[in-house]
């Protein structure tokens, strides 16, 4: 990452604002809901092994909308089962929103929430310090592996927590998406070396293949309207550009050649399609499901 650029996640307020706008401009959560409705029931059918109580861990849960949808699918597949749900999320703003959602939802009496305001690696430390022996039946990491230092080690640790028939679900952008093209071109200028950031499911599958770990994968087609990014000075366009580049105030702080190169690539057919005056970015995601070791 160029010395003059600051990582967007360093400013949680702006990060959360840009993520919210990204959700409004994309079919991100809709494609996850489709996956949860159509594919997840089958994935969850064997978890818990017939037990009447299951342990779930959500890592990087954000405000929990997607987590709550998954909990409802789990309940549908395993009615009567009670759930211990560990939430691992470092943003206090997001945790607060998650708690508000929970307090308004009447169908969660069977779930006990444990709130861990911490990163995935802090949770790992905490888990090891407490010498916890509890195993998990379902662990999910939805769009969060970008923010850890070592995604492979993070996957290995959480996979080691799975019980018999346990499942680890990872959702990230697909290597074939516009994100994949953007990162393969500008990884060195845009990505922070302290965290992985530019990781795609392509990288994760490569790692799993090299270790001989089997997995199932599912394509989640998704789009994002990035038209506003091309109007100089547009506040929302600038916020979206921050999210796309993961750079704080990208428009104002990036060297002109980098900004021009990124904007050109974003509307290039490798990343986007243009129709009716709209620039639609390929936001395809992929879900990877891993079993117990």
The distance of closest approach from Cβ of residue 63 to ligand SAM in the complex, given in angstroms and rounded to an integer, is: 7
Q: Is position 284 annotated in a ligand binding site?
A: no
Give the torsion through C-alpha atoms of 67, 72, 78, 83, to 10 deg.
50
- Candidates 69-77, 138-146, 205-213, 228-236 — which segment interacts with ligand SAM by CB under 6 A? 138-146
Q: Which of 7, 8, 88, 287 binds ligand SAM (CB under 6 A)?
A: 88
Our finding on whether 87 is near ligand SAM (CB under 6 A) is no
Spatial contact of 102 and 108, defined as CB atoms under 8 Å apart? yes
Our finding on whether 120 is near ligand SAM (CB under 6 A) is yes
Our finding on whether 127 is near ligand SAM (CB under 6 A) is no
- Structure token digits, residue 193: 């070396």
- Candidates 36-44, 130-138, 141-149, 274-282 — which segment interacts with ligand SAM by CB under 6 A? 141-149
- Candidates 56-64, 106-114, 129-137, 277-285 — which segment interacts with ligand SAM by CB under 6 A? 56-64
The distance of closest approach from Cβ of residue 127 to ligand SAM in the complex, given in angstroms and rounded to an integer, is: 13
Report the alpha-carbon distance of residue 61 to residue 69 in Å, rounded: 12
Our finding on whether 94 is near ligand SAM (CB under 6 A) is yes
Q: How far is CA 232 from CA 5, 115, 228, 260, 276, in A?
A: 19, 41, 9, 12, 20
Spatial contact of 119 and 90, defined as CB atoms under 8 Å apart? yes
Q: Which segments of 174-271 are extended strands (E)? A: 215-220, 223-225
Q: Which of 70, 71, 86, 89 binds ligand SAM (CB under 6 A)?
A: 89
- Taking residues 147 to 166 in sequence order and writing x for each that binds ligand SAM by CB under 6 A, - otherwise, the string is xx------------------
Q: Is position 28 annotated in a ligand binding site?
A: yes
The distance of closest approach from Cβ of residue 71 to ligand SAM in the complex, given in angstroms and rounded to an integer, is: 13
- Structure token digits, residue 74: 């789990």
Q: Which of 27, 61, 85, 283 binds ligand SAM (CB under 6 A)?
A: 61
Closest to ligand SAM by CB, 59 vs 108, is 59
Report the alpha-carbon distance of residue 280 to residue 164 in Å, rounded: 42
Our finding on whether 57 is near ligand SAM (CB under 6 A) is no
Report the alpha-carbon distance of residue 278 to residue 226 in Å, rounded: 8
The distance of closest approach from Cβ of residue 212 to ligand SAM in the complex, given in angstroms and rounded to an integer, is: 27
Q: What is the 3-state secondary structure (H, E, C) of 70-113?
A: HHHHHHHHCCCCEEEEEEECCCHHHHHHHHHHHHHCCCCCCEEE
Our finding on whether 119 is near ligand SAM (CB under 6 A) is yes
Our finding on whether 59 is near ligand SAM (CB under 6 A) is yes
Spatial contact of 164 and 210, defined as CB atoms under 8 Å apart? no
Q: Residues 6 or more apart from 97 whose CB is under 8 A from it?
A: 63, 64
- Candidates 79-87, 144-152, 248-256, 281-289 — which segment interacts with ligand SAM by CB under 6 A? 144-152
E strand or H helix that includes residue 290: strand 285-291
Report the alpha-carbon distance of residue 13 to residue 10 in Å, rounded: 9
**Which residue has the CB atom at the shortest distance from ligand SAM?**
62
Per CB under 6 A, residues contacting ligand SAM are 19, 59-62, 66, 88-91, 94, 119-120, 142-144, 147-148
Per the annotation, binding residues for substrate are 28, 283
Per the annotation, binding residues are 28, 283
């Amino acid at each position: 990452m160029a010395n003059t650029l600051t990582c967007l996640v360093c400013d949680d307020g702006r990060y959360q604002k840009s993520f919210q706008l990204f959700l409004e401009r994309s079919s991100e959560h809709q494609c996850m809901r489709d996956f949860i409705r159509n594919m997840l029931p089958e994935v969850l059918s064997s978890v818990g092994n017939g037990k009447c109580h299951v342990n779930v861990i959500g890592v990087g849960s954000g405000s929990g909308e997607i987590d709550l949808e998954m909990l409802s699918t789990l309940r549908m597949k395993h009615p009567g089962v009670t759930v211990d749900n560990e939430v691992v999320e470092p943003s206090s703003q997001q945790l607060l929103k998650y708690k508000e959602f929970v307090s308004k939802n009447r169908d969660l009496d069977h779930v006990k929430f444990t709130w861990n305001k911490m990163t995935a690696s802090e949770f790992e430390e905490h888990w090891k310090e407490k010498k916890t022996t509890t195993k998990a039946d379902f662990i999910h990491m939805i769009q969060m592996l970008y923010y850890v230092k070592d995604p492979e080690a993070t996957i290995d640790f959480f996979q080691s927590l799975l019980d018999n028939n346990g499942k680890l679900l990872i959702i990230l952008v697909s290597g074939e998406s516009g994100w994949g093209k953007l990162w393969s071109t500008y990884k060195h200028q845009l990505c922070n070396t302290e965290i992985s950031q530019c990781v795609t499911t392509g990288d994760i599958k490569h790692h799993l293949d090299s270790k001989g770990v089997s997995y199932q994968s599912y394509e989640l087609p998704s789009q994002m309207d990035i038209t506003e990014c091309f109007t100089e000075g547009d506040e929302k366009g600038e916020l979206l550009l921050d999210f796309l580049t993961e750079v704080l105030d990208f428009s104002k702080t990036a060297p002109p050649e980098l900004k021009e190169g990124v904007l050109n690539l974003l509307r290039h057919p490798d990343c986007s399609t243009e129709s009716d005056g709209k620039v639609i970015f390929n936001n395809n995601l992929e879900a990877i499901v891993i079993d117990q070791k």
